[in-house]
Amino acid sequence: MPTYQIKVNGSVRSVDVSEDTPLLWILRDHLDLVGAKYGCGIAQCGACTVHLDGQAVRSCVLTAAQVSGKEITTIEGLSEDGSHPVQQAWKEVDVPQCGYCQAGQIMTAAAFLDKNPNPDSAEIKSAMQGNLCRCASYSRIYKAVEKAASRMG
């Protein structure tokens, strides 16, 4: 099996996996980073969202080869201690219900607000619409993104 060097959360890790292994499973099964979640495996739910060179991407449909040489950030690496403004907003608003989708929601929101710190309502909804929340915590997701924006903007 080929060996890949994966740069994640600031350190280079090496993994032996078959070349079709999605980044999601490399993170979860081989690097013990379980923050990114499996929800669909086909880029439909956003539970697996991580950052690739600062862009929000679906780690379930990216392979090791596609991410080599790029910087990957997972929810575990978004901040040292949960202090990223998006994480803070998520806590203040008490967004999670079951919580399963929330790491993906936060990663999508963080990358979005980085590019667009002053979004309007339609922009927030369109940025977040790729992330399903089966518990339908959408009202609070929206509120938390607004709140984080007010701090990042």
Partner 1 sequence: MSTSKPNMTFSRRDFMRTSSLAGGGILIGFNLFTACKPEASPPVDLASLNYNDFNAFIKIADNGAVTIFSPNPEIGQGVKTSMPMLIAEELDVAWDKVLVEQGVLDTKNYTRQVAGGSQSIRFGWDPLRQTGATARQMLINAAASRWGVEPSECTTSEGVIKNASGETLTYGDVVKDAAGMEIPEKVKLKKRSEYKIIGKDTWNVDLDKIVTGQPLFGLDYKKEGMVIASVMRPPAFGQKLDSYDDAGAKEIPGVIDVIRFGDKIAVLAKDTWTAMKGKKALKASWKDDGTLESTSDHDRILTGLLDGKDFQTLRADGDIKKAFASADKVLERTYESPFLPHNCLEPMNFYADVTSDKIHLVGPIQTPERTAQEIAEKLDRSPEEIHLEMTRMGGGFGRRLYGDFAMEAAEISSKAGKPVKVVFSREDDMAAGIYRPAIKYRIKAAVKNGEVTGYHLKEAAVNSNMYGLIPNFFPAGAIENYQVDVAKHDSNITTGAWRAPYTNFLAFAEQSFFDELAEMMEVDKVQLRLDLLQKVKGTTDERIQYSPERMEEVIKTAVEKSGWGKQPDGVYQGFVNYYCHNSHVAEVANVEIEDGMPVVKKIICVVDCGIVVNPLGALNQIEGGVIDGVGHAMYGDFAFENGVPQSGNFDAYRLIRINEAPEVEVHLMENDHSPTGLGEPTLPPAGGAVANALKAATGKRLYKQPFTKYPELLIVPEKEIIG
Question: Footprint of ligand FES on this chain (CB under 6 A)?
Answer: 38-41, 43-48, 58, 60, 96-102, 133-135, 137
Name the binder of 58 from ligand FES, partner 1, none, CB < 5-8 A by kind: ligand FES
Q: Judged by CB under 8 A, does residue 18 bind partner 1?
A: yes
Q: Give the nearest distance from C-beta 69 to partner 1 in angstroms.
A: 22
Long-range contacts of 79-88 (CB under 8 A, 24+ apart): 84/110, 85/113, 85/148, 85/151, 85/152, 86/110, 86/113, 86/144, 86/145, 86/148, 86/152, 88/148, 88/151
Q: How far apart are CA 27 and CA 146, in angstroms?
A: 30
Identify the CA nearest to 29 among candidates 10, 43, 16, 12.
16
- Out of 113, 133, 148, 149, the residue judged to bind partner 1 by CB under 8 A: 133
Task: Report the interface residues with partner 1, using CB under 8 A.
Answer: 1, 17-18, 20-22, 25, 28-30, 32-42, 44-45, 47, 74-76, 78-79, 81-82, 87, 90-91, 94-103, 106, 125-126, 128-129, 131-142
